[in-house]
Structure 1
């Protein structure tokens, strides 16, 4: 089932796409953070203390999780992108903006950047992609989304495709599984349009990520006007949990340079 959206791009009554919902109007840059499959805004819970006050960050909360658990989750990529495109476009103001996403979130960030520009919006100053590349990523199939729960649990354990604190918490895992199934279906329905975004892209990844084939991040070179390279860290798919400080420091360095150059 595809989640319905109203005229404002908010899914269902009282739907909330952003956390925090309000930002400081005096900040110089807006940063939108997109979560990985099966997760919500809580994966970025520590980022507020890692980013400078000049950057207004907002985590994108998708339907079907956390405070939006009562809303139907999207199960197809294109309807989700359409809803996000409408929502992000309505949120943009005169300030420059940037996207950061991990895994499915990186794919959403990349596709949205291309879609917004096609709609006549100015491009983000940067798309930062973590744990995903347009080629060389082990994209889930609909068969994965439909696996019996025991098999699905074993698959995500084998791949390390959920954070350790989720995989080892039975109560939390039980809540995550339905959302994860929906997100796996979203990823399985994605079509690679081989779009080239008119803004810089920087990537980050774990050295032992089982979801990435060797050299996958190099595929970004053909998808952007300016590939700023890949930073690789010790760890698997969720390397970012241990290296958030280093990732955000590098991200901020790029953002500050790009914003200054655009003035």
Structure 2
């Protein structure tokens, strides 16, 4: 197993230990035709996508990424730098790729990670996703809460990103706060280099998202040869909690179409 070199990372460096730690489930359904990697938001975890496999057709194999420092990985040191994390994700995903097309969906920090993961995979000469789906984050027009790193618990509560079961469990709450602080550092480490991806991009957002400028999600049009537009829904930054079925229904239409030509 390899240890990722992460300059400026505080504490022991997380190891890349393959699908068993990084992906839920660890193995993709061998009968599925398309694979879909799901990336969670700051302070969150893979469990946010627990309902998605049942909302997508059997032809799509969902695997949610679990980053170090949360949920069952909460005793591991989280990443605090974007570059090393994108490199680690690229290694995990590239080790998993088979002959089947794949897509990437990410919400908030997950959208940032999906973007930089795709850039890193293409830089390495590896197959790009057939589709990159981004939600609640854009390279231009996104403003993170000012206290995301200094006061992660306050940011979690203000954004409504703290499930009741976490709020009521001291150990889970402490882990969520630690993960949120580290994730905030990852997001703050983003420096826009204008990089484009070679695959189609579709964007999703909540109309009342306080972190996004009105035209922010449309800035994705300059990062892809084929922008599929922005689907907007009622709600704030965590609009997808109540609109997951609409998002998965849209993905169910897009994935077969773009996977066939990917």
TM > 0.5 between the two? Answer: yes
> Which moves more between the two structures, 81-90 or 35-44?
81-90
Shift of 1:70: 1.5
Distance 1:261 1:121 in 2: 17
Cα deviation per residue 1:191-217 (whole Å; 9 max; x = unaligned)? 212111000000000010111111101
Is contact 1:77-1:190 (8 Å) kept? yes
- The answer as to 2:102 corresponding to 1:93 is no
Secondary structure at the counterpart of residue 62 of structure 1: coil
Map 1:102-141; keep pairs closer than 5 Å. Answer: 102-139=107-144
Shift of 1:169: 3.9
Report the equivalent of 1:200: 200
Cα deviation per residue 1:218-259 (whole Å; 9 max; x = unaligned)? 100100010000000000011000000000000111111112
Which structure 2 segments of 5+ residues have no match?
1-8
Q: Number of matched residues? A: 252
Cα deviation per residue 1:139-195 (whole Å; 9 max; x = unaligned)? 356x64123xxxx4334433x151453685464433311111110011111121211
- The answer as to 2:262 corresponding to 1:258 is no
Task: Return closer, same or farther for 1:16/1:216 CA change in 2, 3 Å cut-off.
Answer: same
Task: Return closer, same or farther for 1:167/1:56 CA change in 2, 3 Å cut-off.
Answer: closer
Distance 1:226 1:197 in 2: 10
Distance 1:5 1:177 in 2: 18
Superposed CA RMSD in Å reads: 2.0
Which structure 1 segments of 5+ residues have no match?
none
Cα deviation per residue 1:104-157 (whole Å; 9 max; x = unaligned)? 00010011111101111111000000111111001356x64123xxxx433443
Report the equivalent of 2:6: none
Among residues 13, 26, 31, which one is paired with 1:4 in the alignment? 13
Distance 1:89 1:214 in 2: 35
Shift of 1:10: 2.3
